[in-house]
Structure 1
Amino acid sequence: MPLDRLSPRLPGSLFALLLASLPLAAAAETSPPPHRLDVQAHAELEVVPDQATLSARLWERTPAIAQRDASGGDAEALAEARGRLEERAASLIQAMESAGLERDAIRAGSLRVQPEILHDRSGKNDEPTPLVRTRLERPFEVELNDLDRLPTVLDALTGAGVDALDGVTYDLADRDTATDEALSQALQRAKHKAELMAASLDVALGDVLSVSENQAPVFQPRMMAMSADARESGGATEYRPGTLSIDATVSVGWEIEGLKSEE
């Protein structure tokens, strides 16, 4: 509605105030946004792991029998294989405790049962005969908080007769502190870049206008697979932890002062 139609209905002082506020509102709507400097920075933090998890497996198999005879299964052979497996598992845990590990540091996984199909070519007609056997497997994980004991524990595992050593996973006990440090370094890097750019452009940095994480700190435990059979490698001392990388990326925007506007 036009203002000249409103004026008779409004008190004079209120109408005058309304008219006075119009230029201010228009100025606010048309005021240019502040000049800003946007910077993206990346930080990569190298940390030395202080934890390790060793993965190993034990397994036993039932005797292979003709597939046509295995429809009902061989409960006795299965029970015997499971008994041998559990006996070896108990010996492995005892060996780990003898190596100085606490019982809580040793985790035995669930029993896995898997049929295996074989082909016997020893027949007279040279046609393969399908055979079947059952493999019972139990995985183990051993956690270490002292990496200096890694060779000793590897020797104990191989001495206990594990069928497979799947590798060593290196980790950090305090991940939060490390990821916080990576993020802090990324922000410091962003500030350094902004100050360098501002000095080169002969402008001054003002308030921070925006901050965002382009990539949150990423931490990934590193797996090192065993390079040879557990009983033949003999290379426990070659498993050095190395370092782990944590990456972080941020974007920060500053208001800048002293930049001349283009006419």
Structure 2
Amino acid sequence: MSRRSQGLSLAALSLLLAVVTVVPAAAQDDNRSTVSVSGEGRVTAPPDQAVVRFGVATRAETAGEARTQNARAAKTAMNAVRGLDVPEEKMRMERLRLQPRYEYNDEENRRELVGYEATRQVIVELGRLEVVPQLVADVVEGGANELDGIDYRLSDRSQLRNDALRKAAQAASEKARLLAATLDAQLGSVRTINEQSFDFVRPQPRLARTEMAKAGDAAQAEPDAYAAGEIEVSAQVQVTFDLLTGPDR
């Protein structure tokens, strides 16, 4: 065999030995025992913001009269909101909807036009939750006739989210340690962490959607109907740990 051929054979043999020694190490690492657990964390906090949506609906024989009455009632309702020192940028009126009204005539066996209805939604953002009952009562007197909903919120959700994630990770670690100790193993380092879910549960007042006349009476007689309660934040994570058993411990 020539010197060149011998050199090539030695190089090929060296490469083969390198492959043989590397593969088992990788395979051994991939086959290491693991334990995967999920953890859930929950935290609560009182909301510090509220978004109130109420509607102004007016009916008249003509479209123009329905629109005029609606504009007048909406303006009065907005002035009632201003009376609570709500900044202008925190309230707005949605686009006016104008549609015909029909009633069925049994004698003629057909629908007949009986007038028009104009509707508009007003949205108010509040940073003072204690004024919600008074707001509802005032806009009722101002001409609003439908409460479309109250949405309680947090101005800063990041801190609550981090607290829920932290609790979820701690719960997963405690669960993994319990399982490992029960099965006579030792918990190793973290391999993977996956956030599975994250949720904000907002409280809803008992009067979520109702006629404003009833809502106004409730606001005056039973302000607790608009109690904000607490916002619950939950998070769930999936964590995989190495599991040390036998001689690996």
TM-score norm. by structure 1 comes to 0.79
Structure 1's 260 and 86: CA in aligned 2 closer, same or farther, altered over 3 A?
A: same
Equivalent position amino acid for 1:8 in 2: S
Task: Kindly provide the CA deviation profile for residues 73-111 of structure 1, in whole angstroms up to 9, marking residues without a partner as x.
Answer: xxxx32232122112211111111112211111110001
Question: Which secondary structure does the structure 1 equivalent of 2:77 belong to?
Answer: helix
Residue 239 (str. 1) matches residue 236 (str. 2): no
Q: How big is the shift at 1:57?
A: 0.8
Q: How big is the shift at 1:130?
A: 3.3
Residue 60 (str. 1) matches residue 42 (str. 2): no
More deviation, 83-92/18-27: 18-27
Task: Kindly provide the CA deviation profile for residues 17-55 of structure 1, in whole angstroms up to 9, marking residues without a partner as x.
Answer: 335425413533653621111111122333322211111
Q: How big is the shift at 1:248?
A: 1.7
Structure 2: how far apart are the matches of 1:22 and 1:54?
Answer: 69
More deviation, 15-24/138-147: 15-24
Equivalent position amino acid for 2:39 in 1: A
Structure 2: how far apart are the matches of 1:115 and 1:87?
Answer: 20
Q: How big is the shift at 1:137?
A: 0.8
Residue 257 (str. 1) matches residue 244 (str. 2): yes
> 1:1-263 residue pairs with structure 2 within 5 A?
8=5, 10=7, 14=11, 17-18=14-15, 20-28=17-25, 30-31=27-28, 33-63=31-61, 77-120=62-105, 126-127=107-108, 130-132=111-113, 133-215=115-197, 217-224=198-205, 225-226=207-208, 228-233=210-215, 234-236=217-219, 237=223, 238-259=225-246
Task: Kindly provide the CA deviation profile for residues 234-258 of structure 1, in whole angstroms up to 9, marking residues without a partner as x.
Answer: 2220211122232221110111223
The answer to whether the 8 Å contact 1:198/1:205 transfers is: yes
Structure 2: how far apart are the matches of 1:193 and 1:204?
Answer: 13
CA-atom RMSD in angstroms? 2.8
Structure 2: how far apart are the matches of 1:92 and 1:31?
Answer: 73
The answer to whether the 8 Å contact 1:35/1:259 transfers is: no
Structure 1's 26 and 135: CA in aligned 2 closer, same or farther, altered over 3 A?
A: closer
Task: Kindly provide the CA deviation profile for residues 121-173 of structure 1, in whole angstroms up to 9, marking residues without a partner as x.
Answer: 6xxxx445632122111111111111111111111111212111122111111
Q: How big is the shift at 1:214?
A: 2.1
Structure 1: how far apart are the matches of 2:239 and 2:210?
Answer: 49
Q: Percent identity?
A: 24
The answer to whether the 8 Å contact 1:119/1:128 transfers is: yes
Q: How big is the shift at 1:219?
A: 2.1
Provide structure 2 residue ranges, at least 5 long, that are not aligned to the other structure: none
Equivalent position amino acid for 1:31 in 2: Q
Structure 2: how far apart are the matches of 1:166 and 1:19?
Answer: 75
Equivalent position amino acid for 1:245 in 2: E
1:73 corresponds in structure 2 to none
The answer to whether the 8 Å contact 2:172/2:239 transfers is: yes
Aligned residues: 240
